[in-house]
Amino acid sequence: MKTGGQLIVDTLKANGVERLFCVPGESYLAVLDALVDSGVGVTVCRQEGGAAMMADSWGRLTGKPGICFVTRGPGATNATAGLHIARQDSIPMILFIGQVQRDAREREAFQEVEYRRAFTEFAKWVAEIDDPARIPEFVNRAFSVAMSGRPGPVVLALPEDVLREAVENPPATILPNPVPATRPGDAEMKDLGERLARAERPVMILGGTRWTETAVRQVERFAERAQIPVGCSFRRQMLFDHTHPCYAGDVGIGINPALAEAIKVSDLVMLVGGRFSEMPSSGYTLLDIPCPEQPLVHVHADAGELGRVYRPTLAINADPASFADALSSLDVDPMPGRADMVARMHAAYLDWSTPPETGPGDVQMGPIIDWLRDELPEDAILTNGAGNYATWVHRYVRFRNFATQAAPASGSMGYGVPAAIGAQQAFPDRLVVAFAGDGCFMMHGQEFATAIQHKLPIIVIVVNNSMYGTIRMHQERDYPGRVSATELTNPDFAALARAYGGHGETVEKTEDFAPAFKRARATGKASIIEIKLDQQAITPTRTLAQISGTGVKK
């Protein structure tokens, strides 16, 4: 005999789960008990939103569903912050939620929520398990749904009494469901090859998930062979080596105008893996909807995404890894002049991604990013949430390798610190650096305690300008001189790190950063480096005064 809680853990192990993230609750005590001596690592978090973001980061970097357990009601609703990120970003994740016992349902019992009604917008599939004997079936299906087609989160609600109830004849062996590859057809690849051979100005844009290290390298080799410039979609920069001669830059917020123009005048745009939603499409302006002026080849693992927003000239239903493998055997002779175009676009990227050396205040972010670019290992993992500070990462850091970036394309604040914890758990031997603004850090900064408890040596760089910078920028643009609800009063972040038991540094001059970073890394502890940035340094190229048009420094 086995309890429902034991069957949950058995099925997780059968699906290769090594670690899960949770905030404990009495509604799933039977699972917590079954985890004792199970061999599955448990990361105890401080808030359910942070736990879900850690699971998202794990899924984002490994391709395997991140696993998160939370309790019912408030615990579940807190977790929706991470659930929304996983949904919009196509990240495989499974959120298990404790639920009221079966005989109390539909009475608005203590902390009761009907998750199938409440969470449909947040997940690919939402279900509640009523029979403990069906737990392996439901959990296996959850893994299949989370990883197949367009990946995403799944929610399973677990009534408390189902987890305690015993199953007399549990399965002796639990076998996971296979995740099928979606391969491109020969006819589609032949059509693509012919179109590429005729194209004078092709552009390839990589995005989405279901990539592998092998697939990334296969696309790099094909791009070089076929002489195609390649851009990476918003916050997917790890999908192509930025020093590769075919790299043309990131297709996201604040796109290089030269790259935007190249997409607009292209005679063949290839979207591989991504949806090309609002941020990478510059507010749906790079391609017309529903019929782009440019011939469009859209490659996506989910047939439902093909033609949903843009009508493609050629639709290829394939996951990125299978498509990249097919590209390896595609023979294309590039049109004359394509090599020169590729070289020009890469040179434009290098110029665009060279940070400014000066700016307002005593701390200059440009030289700091330059130093990090030289000093960070090529396999270092960088995480961040949302805010103007992230521009320094996305525009100026030159990513080299796959699985080195965890950032929410959904634009969610507070992601950087929990994502760094998830990344460090997944890759304990690699350096993990989280970037956060002061407002961003304070949303899930309490998870720094989780890093301390689990002895994770993440380094958190807090760019502190004492305001919600992105909102203030828009405020100054639209309502110049009328500051409202964007000023912040913050703690001493370095002292906060020490209070948690970590290492803290404060950077008030540019030259302070390098030694501070070296000291932080040498401690082997979770660390916070606070950079005190002048409020006028709101973007790499414009000050607040320039944006407001008042010329007044506030």
pLDDT at 149 over 80: yes
Q: If pLDDT is split at 50, 70 and 90, which confidence band does 505 have?
A: very high
pLDDT at 552 over 70: no
Question: Which bin fits 307, alpha (ψ -120 to 50), beta or left (φ > 0)?
Answer: left
Cα 532 to Cα 534: distance, rounded to the nearest angstrom: 7
Q: What angle (nearest 5°) sits at the alpha carbon of residue 185, between those of residues 184 and 187?
A: 130
Cα 78 to Cα 70: distance, rounded to the nearest angstrom: 9
Q: What is the pLDDT of residue 553?
A: 52
Q: How many percent of the chain have pLDDT more than 90? A: 95
The string of pLDDT tens digits covering residues 263-310 is: 999 999 999 999 999 999 999 999 999 999 999 999 999 999 999 999
Cα 418 to Cα 59: distance, rounded to the nearest angstrom: 13
Check if the beta carbon of residue 540 is closer than 8 Å to that of residue 366.
Answer: yes
Q: How many percent of the chain have pLDDT more than 70? A: 99
pLDDT at 531 over 60: yes
Across the range 240-264, mean pLDDT stands at: 97
The string of pLDDT tens digits covering residues 391-411 is: 999 999 999 999 999 999 998
Three-class SS of residue 79? helix
The string of pLDDT tens digits covering residues 415-472 is: 999 999 999 999 999 999 999 999 999 999 999 999 999 999 999 999 999 999 999 9
Cα 358 from chain centroid (whole Å): 30
Question: Which bin fits 169, alpha (ψ -120 to 50), beta or left (φ > 0)?
Answer: beta
Check if the beta carbon of residue 298 is closer than 8 Å to that of residue 280.
Answer: no
Using only the alpha carbons of the chain, give its radius of gyration: 24
SS (H, E, C) 180-193: CCCCCCHHHHHHHH
Cα 259 to Cα 208: distance, rounded to the nearest angstrom: 20
Check if the beta carbon of residue 149 is closer than 8 Å to that of residue 181.
Answer: no
Nearest to 91 by CA among 38, 39, 146: 146
pLDDT at 106 over 90: no
- Characterize the bridge pairing of strands 166-167 and 2-3: antiparallel
Across the range 184-198, mean pLDDT stands at: 97
Cα 418 to Cα 385: distance, rounded to the nearest angstrom: 10
Across the range 240-251, mean pLDDT stands at: 98
pLDDT at 554 over 50: no
Identify the bridge partners of residue 529 per DSSP, sorted by sequence position.
Answer: 461, 505
Beta strand extents in 401-483 (DSSP E only): 405-406, 432-437, 459-464
Cα 166 to Cα 4: distance, rounded to the nearest angstrom: 6
Check if the beta carbon of residue 162 is closer than 8 Å to that of residue 130.
Answer: yes
Nearest to 373 by CA among 494, 230, 243, 537: 243
Q: If pLDDT is split at 50, 70 and 90, which confidence band does 353 have?
A: very high
Query: Any long-range contacts for 236-240 (C-beta under 8 Å, 24+ apart)?
Result: 236/206, 236/207, 236/208, 236/274, 236/405, 236/409, 237/394, 237/397, 237/399, 237/405, 238/399, 238/401, 238/402, 238/403, 238/404, 238/405, 239/206, 239/207, 239/211, 239/273, 239/402, 240/206, 240/216
pLDDT at 59 over 80: yes
Cα 104 to Cα 5: distance, rounded to the nearest angstrom: 19
The string of pLDDT tens digits covering residues 300-344 is: 999 999 999 999 999 999 999 999 999 999 999 999 999 999 999
Q: What is the pLDDT of residue 551?
A: 56
Across the range 36-40, mean pLDDT stands at: 96
* Biggest CA pair distance of the chain: 76
CB neighbour class for 326 (10 Å; exposed up to 12, middle 13-18, buried from 19): buried
Which residues have C-beta within 8 Å of that of residue 455, sequence separation ≥ 6?
none
The pTM (predicted TM-score) of the whole model is 0.96
Q: What angle (nearest 5°) sits at the alpha carbon of residue 539, between those of residues 537 and 540?
A: 90
For the chain, give the mean pLDDT.
96
Q: What is the pLDDT of residue 105?
A: 83
Check if the beta carbon of residue 296 is closer than 8 Å to that of residue 274.
Answer: no
Q: What is the pLDDT of residue 113?
A: 86
Across the range 94-102, mean pLDDT stands at: 94
